[in-house]
Amino acid sequence: MTSQRQPDESADAVEDVAGGGEDDFTPAGVPDGFERLWNPHRIAYMQRGQDQVSSAADCPFCEGPRRADEQALIVHRGRSCYVLLNLYPYNPGHLLICPYRHVADLTDLTPEETVEFTRLAQVAMTALRATAEPGGFNLGINQGKVGGAGISAHLHQHVVPRWGGDGNFLPIIARTKNMAQTLGETHAMIRDAWEQAEETFAAGPADDDAPADDERPR
C-alpha cells in the first residue's frame, strides 16, 4: 500500500477522538505547522514484531516463493536461494537475498547455499549498477533480535543501493523515507535486467580492468 500525505487527517482524527459530542471539547495538542505522513498499514507489523514469525508455517520468506513473482516481489529464483524487493525499502532497489530453507543463522547454510547466497548478492549489485547507477552500496546481515533483524527466524541479506544525498533529515527526524519509485516499477526494472546482469558478472571484469601479470599477487 502506498502511503499518502494527508495534511487534513489530523482534524478528522480529533473529531473521531472527541466523539462528535455537543460540546466543543478538543483533546490536548498544539498545532505545529507540520504535515503528517500516515502509515496505518504498518501497525500490524509493528504490533506483532518478532512474534509474527514463529516457524516456517507463518514465515513470509517461506510463503513468498509459493506466490507469483509480482505478488511476492521476487526478482530472481535460484536453486537454493532467491532475491526479492524489501517491502519496506531504505532506498529504491533495496533487495533481500534469502535461502528457501527456513534457517536463522549464516552458519546454518550448506556450502552450496553459501556459494549461491553470496553470488546472488554480487549479481544483484551488477543489476542495480546497470539500471540505477548507484554511487555505492550497503550490504549486511542482521543476526538475531538483538542484532537488529526484523525477522530473525529466517536468514536474509540486505543489498541497499546508495546515492549521494539520499540520507536527508526525514529518516532521522521523522522516521520517514521518501520513495521516488513504486515497488512495482522497481520490481519490473530489476527483474528485466537480471539475466543480462548474470551474464555480465559471469564474464568477469573487462580486460582493461584486470591486473597486469606483474601486478598479480604471488
Yes or no: say if 187 and 70 are a contact pair by the CB < 8 Å rule: yes
Burial class (CB in 10 A: 0-12, 13-18, 19+), 52: middle
From residue 36, how far is each of 4, 7, 29 by CA, in Å? 9, 6, 14
Helices (H), the chain: 9-18, 43-48, 60-63, 69-72, 111-132, 169, 183-203
Task: List 99's β-bridge partners, or say none.
Answer: 81
Reply yes or no on whether 41 is catalytic.
no
From residue 79, how far is each of 27, 49, 96, 117, 214 by CA, in Å? 57, 30, 16, 10, 39
Catalytic residue among 76, 94, 154, 156: 156
CA-to-CA distance for 198 and 209, rounded, in angstroms?
A: 18
The three three-digit cell numbers of residue 80, written as one number: 537454493
CA-to-CA distance for 197 and 127, rounded, in angstroms?
A: 5
Active-site positions? 156
